Amino acid sequence: MTTSEHTTTAGAVPGGMPRTALALAVTGWLLGVAAVLLYFTSEPDFTGDWLFIVVDAMVSAVYATVAAVVLARRRHVVAGLLTVTAVGGGLAALGGAYLQLTTVRGLPVVEPVAALFGTAWVPGTLALFLVVPWLVRDHPLGREWLGVLAGALVSVSFLGLRIIWPDSAVLLTGVVGAVVVMGLVTAAAVEWRRRHGPVEERNGLGWLALGTAVMALSFTPLLLPYGSLPFWITPALHLACQALFPAAVLAVVLRSRLWGLELAVSRAVLGQTLTLGLLALYLVVTVLATRLIGGDGPAQLLAAAAVVAAVQPSRLWLQRRIATLVHGQAHDPRRVAARMGSQLARASSTEELLQSLVESVGSTLRLESAALISDDAVLASWGTPTSTPQLVQLRHRDEPIGQLAVTLPPGETLGARGTAALEELSVVVASGLTLARSVWQLEAARDRLTRARLQERRVIRRELHDGLGPWLAGLRLGLRGAANLVERDPDAAVTMLAALQAELDQRIEDVRSVARSLLPPVLDELGLAAALEELVARHRDGGMRVELTAAGLDGLPPPVAAAGYAIASEAVINVARHAGVDACELSAVVVDGELQVTCTDHGVGFGDDAVAGVGTTAMRERAGELGGTLEIDPVVPSGTRVRARIPVSATPDRERVEPAAELATS
């Protein structure tokens, strides 16, 4: 399964049941509150099993709330098990309170009601840590079904024992041992997933493993002889579980943002965990100090001092870890940004760099999808969008360079924390995009340089093949003819040598003209207009009059300016060589977003059977490389017009992934 797949948690059905969830939450709270009120009407003496009644009432309220939160957002088998836990806890608390009333008020003992105190909590509580951890995952169950079946078997066995043989100490010890062992095995399996499972599934698994282990260990006092430990140990362990397990289940089952509940969940878990931890510290220090130094007064003072010293460090430590549980890595966007920044140096290509940055944003913020857009093209994407994306502008030096398009799972919003995290991470993405654009610009510059060199080689090849080569062959024949005339007709030989010298002078000037036409330095330094003026001046010195018209040539992209100059130079050279005239008109203007280069002469023109030579082919290729066109038309009454049109915005194309418009779906 890749990070871009849209997965469904095992046992989950899309869509929630908000009304059922509300009814469930109200029922759980009513059961818990009713049990507590009923217990307090019995004039309790706070001895015996009163802590278990409080624990069962808390289980009813807490897990009814957790089940409602899950059920309101997705129909998940875990929500059903949480419901069994909540209702079972509430009924057990009511059963315990009723037993207290039978003792104090003399009410008759109704066995089915009284039995609830010892049995109603069993199926839900055991399934909570023996079955639920196997079900919370983002893929269908495989071999994990063995864990589900084993946990269910142990839970049913424990329940059957409590109902059929409630007084069998031997059987109870064996089944409780199986509960502890199976719970620790389940915790180990969850921890293995946290270390070795898919990265996108790890959030909250550490807390789930810890909660499962604590739940399992909370049953170990039942393995010891009755009275060997203080009576409050077992209920205190169960209370500790309530500080860890509910939030871990929420984070793992929902796997994504808690829709505005982050602050409440974080504070609730922090408060419960901190309170229970400090209470445990106080009790431990009090017991140890009493045994070591004797007396309750000094021991309690020492314990209080230890609690005061531990409050702030404990709060900070717990706050960081609970934030990680609820928010995932998004709780500390600066750390994520630093990790993303290190990817800038490790990426082997710009495509890999941008893809890794987008994946980091999507997985960190638990988005549905994320895509990086620049110049109306998608450069990297993660996930599959099912709604219209939210766009975040990416800027470099206050200039827009692209957009980050993100979508959230249905029903979710980013919230203030998520929006702030997205803004911080978008800065890193913008830096990566800037780096990639710099690399692309360098590649484009290299490409332009290579194209220019190839064009220059084509020009040189044409001159050597069509011009200098045949002329040298003719020169050799002329020299041989002059040599034959030296003895027979010296005057004719001198005349022939003089003609050859004049031709040689012309060819030397042609070679110089070709050398000057190969993209002169003035083109880069002063632009196309200055380069064309220099071209006109050179031809004027050679006896060729060129009337130049130039307008709107400032700020042309280098590829467009180079192509325009090469076409103009080639067109004027062709006039000088083939038109039979010593004048032409050259125009270079920008009209409607395109550079138009036109060279017009009134010479002999092209014949109907004329074949395009190397020069004409080179001009056509120059224009075509940038999405332009070249037209060669006759002029009335005689002559030729060469016109090239090149889009001003044209640059060598880079392959893009897909049009950005395809991202917006409804």
- Per the DSSP assignment, residues forming a β-bridge with 646 are 595
User: Can you give the length of the chain in residues?
Assistant: 666
- Do 252 and 268 fall within a single domain? no
State the pLDDT at residue 594.
92
Q: H or E segment at 445?
A: helix 415-462
Judgement on whether residues 432 and 581 belong to the same structural domain of the protein: no
Q: Are 155 and 123 in contact (CB under 8 A)?
A: yes
- Per the model's pLDDT, the better-predicted residue between 628 and 463 turns out to be 628
Give the rounded distance of the alpha carbon of 35 from its chain centre: 49
The CA distance from 614 to 463, in Å, is 9
- Indicate whether 117 and 243 sit together in one domain: yes
What's the chain's average pLDDT? 75
pLDDT, position 261: 37
Looking at residue 329, the DSSP 8-state letter turns out to be G
- The secondary element (H helix, E strand) that includes residue 404 is strand 399-407
**Which residue in this structure is represented by tokens 């990086």?**
372
Quickly state the pLDDT bin for 595 (edges 50, 70, 90): very high
pLDDT tens, position by position, 219-237 = 887 777 766 666 667 777 7
pTM of the model: 0.45
Does residue 489 form part of some domain? no
Same domain, 73 and 193: yes
Query: In terms of C-beta distances under 8 Å and separation of at least 24 residues, what long-range contacts does 347-354 make, across chains too?
Result: 350/435, 350/436, 350/439, 350/440, 351/379, 351/380, 353/432, 353/435, 353/436, 354/379, 354/380, 354/432, 354/433, 354/436
Q: Are residues 224 and 277 in the same domain?
A: no
Taking only Cα atoms into account, the Rg of the chain, rounded to an integer number of angstroms, comes to: 43
Same domain, 320 and 388: no
Residue 482 lies in a domain: no
Question: Do 588 and 530 fall within a single domain?
Answer: yes
Check which CATH number belongs to the domain holding 586 and give it: 3.30.565.10
Same domain, residue pair 564 and 600: yes
> Is the same domain home to 434 and 554?
no
**Band of residue 536 on the pLDDT scale cut at 50, 70, 90:** very high
Statement to judge: residues 133 and 51 lie in one domain? yes
Residue 310, in any domain of the structure:
yes
Per the CB < 8 A criterion, the answer to whether 573 and 615 are in contact is yes
Domain holding 371: CATH number? Answer: 3.30.450.40
Whole-number pLDDT of residue 12: 46
14-62 pLDDT tens trace: 556 778 888 888 888 888 888 888 877 776 665 657 778 888 888 888 8
For residue 661, the enclosing domain spans 522-666
CA distance 548 to 509: 22
Number of domains in the chain: 4
36 located within any domain: yes
Select the more confidently predicted residue: 8 or 243. 243
